[in-house]
Amino acid sequence: MRVRSLVLILAPTILVGQDFRLFNAAGGYVFASTDVLPTTFSITYDSLTVVGSDTIIHIGKNFNGSDNSDELCPFWGQVCYHMSLPSVFGRSITHGSSGEYVFHNNNGADLLFHAQLPEGDTMTMYQDADQRFLLTRTGTDQLAVLGQIDSVRHFELIHQDLSGSPIGSPLNGVDISIGKELGLITFFAVDSFPIVLQPLVLLGMTSPPLGFHQITNEMVFDHQPGDEIQTHFWNYYYFAPLPPWLQPYNYYSTRTILSRQETADSLIYDVQYERFDFGGTTSVVAYQSIAYHKQTVIAEIPFDRFNGTSQGLNKADHCGVAFWEYYASPSNSLVFCAYDNCWGAYDTQGPPIVEFERTVLGLGSFNAYAQLISPDNGFDRGHQIVYFKKNGISCGNEITVSIAEGIGDPHLLVAPNPTKGILSIGADLPIEQVRIVDLQGRLILSTSMRTANGMLDLVAFPDGMYVLHVEFLGGGRAAEKVLIQH
């Protein structure tokens, strides 16, 4: 799941005057879907235009196709990507002089919302040839929203057919709410309405800074005594001979939290580290005290205009527990041209480095890699959490020294490697299960063999590095890196 962002173009002048405006903050908002594993949507204000008595709030954020750039933007192939793709609140919003808002979505539909609707009254928000959505003002109360008390107006959204019979959709009966000070609190996705009916709830805002508005060390490195995190680290090179200052490595490191201390501005942990090489038979144990400054900011939320790095925020399941995940991936082949207000590719004098990092709140950097596919100076380095125990819950496959002895074992033969897609596996023992995961930890293939030799068809997999895990009948494991190059 990914974070979709938009830019609402808004001037400070509309932030004063009439209460219960939809957007009262001078900064940005983060909304989340109401799924068990929600996606987030961010919006940021910049400026607006006025047409007659109406205020037009323009929306634009992500890449929207491509077109030919001006000669003053020297992109590779003269193709640029404008940041004009509408997102969760549609193409634009018109704020009328009498207080109404009209959302103009991506499908050409207009949705009317009036925050000043008298209590008990009903208005038609949207209607087409098959259905209508009605909005009824149900009341006002005082609520704690993102830790702040606000006066909140409530509206019930009613979804029915044209005969008045209710339609049991995800939006029927949903509460739409707006705060006197904070603005829109609960709403729904407008961009693909009415094809997609997705409720949304306010998750955080930057002005005032409330709720989920940034990712800090305090959120990421929140550990308790007894927590364990095992990480696999690797660094390979695709060329030889290597100069002495370039050394490959391949090892596991297990961190066990022994104690936790907390001050006003720091988290301090006593940690046991156990490290052993991939395929090694001995481990090294060390002890260290490590401190994190609580308010060190890892990422600001909401994500502003694309700045050369793709970012995302969502919840993901890890062994039945939902964790917030933040990812960042620099686009090392793109450059911005202010003249045409777009991004485009430039000549990187060879393949660009591909980078990615995923941070799981409560665990740390979950996986990261940097790859350069080149026979002259290529490399692949990164890390991946393979096992953790948190709050008494274990997740993943913990590797121990005895198990690690089977990793890279000469009794397991994987060939050819690199492969164009057809991979032969052979071993001295019958193989029970084969799994292939990518460097983001996602399971790509799982199959049973129950024989000592077999073939795998990986032709449909994209080029890149993967990890092949083998479990033998009667116990024992082995693993091998596999490089696919079509």
Give the domain 218-396 fold.
Answer: YmcC-like fold (2.40.360)
Phi, psi of 12 (to 5 degrees): -60, -20
Q: Is the pLDDT of residue 16 over 50?
A: no
The secondary element (H helix, E strand) that includes residue 218 is helix 217-220
CB 186 within 8 A of CB 85: no
Percentage of residues of the chain with pLDDT beyond 90 = 40
What SS3 class is residue 67?
Answer: strand
Burial 445-466 (b: 16+ CB within 10 A, else e): eeeebeeeebebebeebeebbb
Which of the four pLDDT bands, split at 50, 70 and 90, describes residue 478? confident
Q: Which candidate, 95, 94, 64, 93, places its Cα nearest to that of 80?
A: 64
Q: Is the pLDDT of residue 339 over 60?
A: yes
Most confident option among 238-247, 257-266, 374-383: 257-266
**Spans of all domains in the chain:** 4-212, 218-396, 406-484
CB 383 within 8 A of CB 358: no
Q: Is the pLDDT of residue 233 over 80?
A: yes
Class of domain 406-484: mainly beta
The residue-averaged pLDDT of 281-290 equals 86
Higher-pLDDT residue of 63 and 289 is: 289
CB 216 within 8 A of CB 298: yes
Q: Which residues contact 427 (CB under 8 A, 6 or more apart)?
A: 411, 412, 413, 452, 453, 470, 472, 478
Domains 218-396 and 406-484 share a fold: no
